[in-house]
Chains A and B, each alone.
Chain A
């Protein structure tokens, strides 16, 4: 273990001032650390699974209409961080969250926010493709139906649009009634993206979306991310550093529950400020 940061240490020396630009240690309303308008603003976020602490005072912002990648070794908390953004951690018993997660300057953990409506705004794509065992059409229409859409024409229209958006339409337009399980893994994942897009989210969370796919399918998903870039704020967790460097505009490196460094992707990959980041990126550990 050449780990430079032990757990005891981490309490004393948090890795907050990433690049010295973030000013979250000041309590008052966080100033934009970079010259962008943050879509998502995370302040002083900590998360506990019962007695175990999984996130330590994370502060970061994610710009609107751009792709933010979260990288880091397994178990570093990047997925946990992602799941705080649509409150998916709520379903796990005994999870406690402190700090603020604000989307468009509204704290999503405040009582005024309805969690179902939040998740409508913040779509999510999971690591393993998880289409419902229903038809392709019904998979995409599912979100519309649960949010009360009953107009057949409008559902059909949205389904088609979403499938086109997810670059799947041409492959499935003749077999919309077939079971989604009959699609290949890559197609299933794009279907999941189409399903997430159908409810009209502003933010798309992707939890290692290509880790279960072959390189070809991965490439297609990456192309797709590029196309979706300007319309959605995308946060992607990835193990694959090439992927992070290829698709993202911003990158955050996490380690053992801390956000070690956050900055523009080029900068993180070319000239990381922290040694830990550099070690990780150059493959010295992790």
Chain B
């Protein structure tokens, strides 16, 4: 019987142990799983760019590489096309190299043969003919019946613009042309005598439907050196030219018929020629390749704060080629660019992050490259008349540790900055994804909250545990517990809509109060010292001191209220906000650090208070008694014996409170204004990492850069808090061995 009982007890023990162990392991596993899941989402941000060789085929239709003017592929990387010197467009299967369709663009013999071709915009090609004509064409990749809902779509090439030359074709060295949807057609010819001829033709339609055509022609001569490369932006508004002695010149063509020179800059050392020029997607930056293989991007900046016009400046230095850069191609999805060196090496670079993403080369020299509009494929034509195709997996080129945590010079900015601006209304926007303002916001908000919460919570805990009497102690403790139970959305709501306007209205009163209240309390305490032996006070002193303090605090508040008006008039000319803006250049945000300090502090106080109060109450009475018996006063006992002994617990409370403040989302989301600025001013708002996740996750497309960066913020938050907790635990252990008790 008893043996049976023992066996049963043992079995129960074993079962209980298994269940408990399983619980503990499950918790650890869950935490690790969460971390793994988050990290997994962020990892692609830092993976290297993948280049998967897709196919290698011979040039179709027995073409030779000298015949090829341009190389491109459709957006599915299925069909390729080449534009040939003969004026033909050959569509072919990228995988097999079989010709699918050939379109003759020359139409009749009057056009002559095609001399040059360049890509304009997403998938349009600007062709120059020996007759002097310039055409802009776009390919139409065919689809089979199955692919196009039962209707076969033929291959075709559509001609969008045809711009005749106004000078003898023999005079023209090279030409480029652009057109806009508003009807402006711009053609720029570089003439053999090193002058530019700019022809602009503007077609406008009035309300009646009458077309009026204005045509302008102008010459740009007296160029400082022989032009070796030039390009136009997609609107035909800016003309960039690089010279053989290494200058970069920019003209404003916006004023029709009268081009204006904006600036000329030394772009290379040792007068190395500029060999390639291309506008980066977005038309702000221009990529410059030189004869020595250097690759840089430039955009206009205001060089001094007083400067009226923006001047081109070299912004990003990209990985150089070993030989002259012969051509630059840009993506129409992001700022990536592909450059080809004379030695046949292909580089893929990203200007914003200054990352060299990829180098490609072939055994035979590559003479021409193609870069799909989507930026997901690179084509290379070799001397051996073969075409190689790579599929490029380059989803997050703008992300690197230096763009996340360093200063970055973004387009349109006058200097490198830490900026968070993840999205905008246009596609050619450069996402600014510095996490520094967010980290800063988190730390700033937490700092001010802790500044308010720590003293209040700790004084409260000391008072409650060692000075207050039983009933008051219970009231305080249950009040604080209620505080902890208030949902943070309620606190945030109150802070944003009730507290913030009040603080805005009575800012000076608040600031004055912060100074006057403690000062008045200290004065009051000093004054009351001689009266302390009075029996009445003695009775009050047993934990009811605060009753005497209430009128003092009320007086202090009234005083600050009454003094605020005159003081503001005296010091700040009657309006603090105005004064702040004029004398310090600081804006006053309604939802600022003062509000956050109160609101976030309010959320954190119960945590710190509860843990600290427990720690303080758990200091053994024998220690207190020992101290008191030596003649220490109550305060000395608390300060020298109780606080050090309770310090591990107090410290833990502060750190846990800190962790809560860093991770708190709802309050900061509602009461900070969410402006990601780097500013220490207490009258400014901020955007914290946690609030940022909440604000932007609805806008972040699944798997996109922003989406992954937000997950990265989550990882940072997680790592940050775990580092904080580990640190706290270590310090706690040390404190415990120093001040704690053995048991």
Task: Report which A residues bind B (CB closer than 8 A).
Answer: 86, 88, 91, 93, 111, 116-120, 123-124, 126, 128, 130-134, 142-143, 145-147, 179, 181, 192, 195-196, 199
Residues of A within 8 A of B737 (CB): 179
Can you offer 8 A-B residue contacts whose CB atoms are under 8 A?
A91-B628, A119-B631, A124-B629, A126-B629, A133-B739, A146-B627, A146-B640, A196-B629
Residues of A within 8 A of B96 (CB): none
Per the bound structure, the CA–CA distance linking A130 and B629 in Å amounts to: 12
Give the residue of A116, A124, A192 whose beta carbon is less than 8 angstroms from that of B633: A116
Residues of A within 8 A of B624 (CB): 91
CB of A93, distance to nearest CB on chain B (Å) = 7
**B595-625 to A contact mask, C-beta < 8 Å, 1/0:** 0000000000000000000000000101111
Known A111-B533, A133-B645, A134-B644: A93·B629 in contact at CB below 8 Å:
no
**B308 at the A/B interface (Cβ < 8 Å)?**
no
Interface on chain B toward A: helix, strand, loop, or mixed SS?
helix
Per the bound structure, the CA–CA distance linking A93 and B633 in Å amounts to: 17
Residues of B within 8 A of A86 (CB): 629
User: Is the pair A146, B625 in contact by a Cβ cutoff of 8 Å?
Assistant: no
CB of A278, distance to nearest CB on chain B (Å) = 34
11 more contacts with CB within 8 A, not counting A131-B626, A142-B630, are A119-B630, A126-B622, A126-B625, A126-B629, A130-B625, A133-B738, A142-B640, A146-B631, A146-B636, A147-B631, A195-B630
Residue of B nearest to A125 (CB): B629
Residues of B within 8 A of A143 (CB): 630-632
Known A93-B469, A130-B622, A130-B626: A116·B533 in contact at CB below 8 Å:
no
> Which B residues, 504 to 551, have Cβ-Cβ distances below 8 Å to chain A?
533, 542
Per the bound structure, the CA–CA distance linking A79 and B740 in Å amounts to: 28
Known A132-B641, A133-B741, A146-B640: A123·B623 in contact at CB below 8 Å:
no
Per the bound structure, the CA–CA distance linking A126 and B542 in Å amounts to: 25
Residue of B nearest to A124 (CB): B629
Please list the 4 inter-chain residue pairs (A to B) with the smallest Cβ-Cβ separation, ordered nearest first: A120-B631, A124-B629, A130-B622, A119-B631
User: Is the pair A181, B625 in contact by a Cβ cutoff of 8 Å?
Assistant: no
**B470 at the A/B interface (Cβ < 8 Å)?**
yes
CB of B532, distance to nearest CB on chain A (Å) = 11
Residues of B within 8 A of A93 (CB): 469-470, 542
Residues of A within 8 A of B625 (CB): 88, 91, 126, 130
User: Is the pair A119, B629 in contact by a Cβ cutoff of 8 Å?
Assistant: yes
Give the residue of A128, A133, A181, A199 whose beta carbon is less than 8 angstroms from that of B631: A199
Task: Report which B residues bind A (CB closer than 8 A).
Answer: 469-470, 533, 542, 620, 622-633, 636, 640-641, 644-645, 737-742
Per the bound structure, the CA–CA distance linking A147 and B630 in Å amounts to: 9
Per the bound structure, the CA–CA distance linking A54 and B738 in Å amounts to: 40
Residues of B within 8 A of A192 (CB): 626
Per the bound structure, the CA–CA distance linking A23 and B456 in Å amounts to: 57
Residues of B within 8 A of A134 (CB): 644, 739
Residues of B within 8 A of A116 (CB): 631-633
CB of A141, distance to nearest CB on chain B (Å) = 11
Per the bound structure, the CA–CA distance linking A134 and B737 in Å amounts to: 10
User: Is the pair B742, A181 in contact by a Cβ cutoff of 8 Å?
Assistant: yes
CB of B698, distance to nearest CB on chain A (Å) = 53
CB of A190, distance to nearest CB on chain B (Å) = 14
Give the residue of B629, B644, B645, B739 whose beta carbon is less than 8 angstroms from that of A123: B629
CB of B540, distance to nearest CB on chain A (Å) = 14
Known A142-B640, A146-B636: A132·B627 in contact at CB below 8 Å:
yes
Residues of B within 8 A of A199 (CB): 630-631
Residues of B within 8 A of A118 (CB): 631
Residue of A nearest to B538 (CB): A111
Residue of A nearest to B637 (CB): A146
User: Is the pair B741, A123 in contact by a Cβ cutoff of 8 Å?
Assistant: no
Per the bound structure, the CA–CA distance linking A146 and B626 in Å amounts to: 13
CB of B633, distance to nearest CB on chain A (Å) = 5
User: Is the pair A88, B623 in contact by a Cβ cutoff of 8 Å?
Assistant: no
Residue of B nearest to A205 (CB): B629
CB of A235, distance to nearest CB on chain B (Å) = 13
CB of A91, distance to nearest CB on chain B (Å) = 6
Residues of A within 8 A of B631 (CB): 116-120, 143, 146-147, 199
Known A133-B645, A134-B739, A181-B741: A146·B630 in contact at CB below 8 Å:
yes
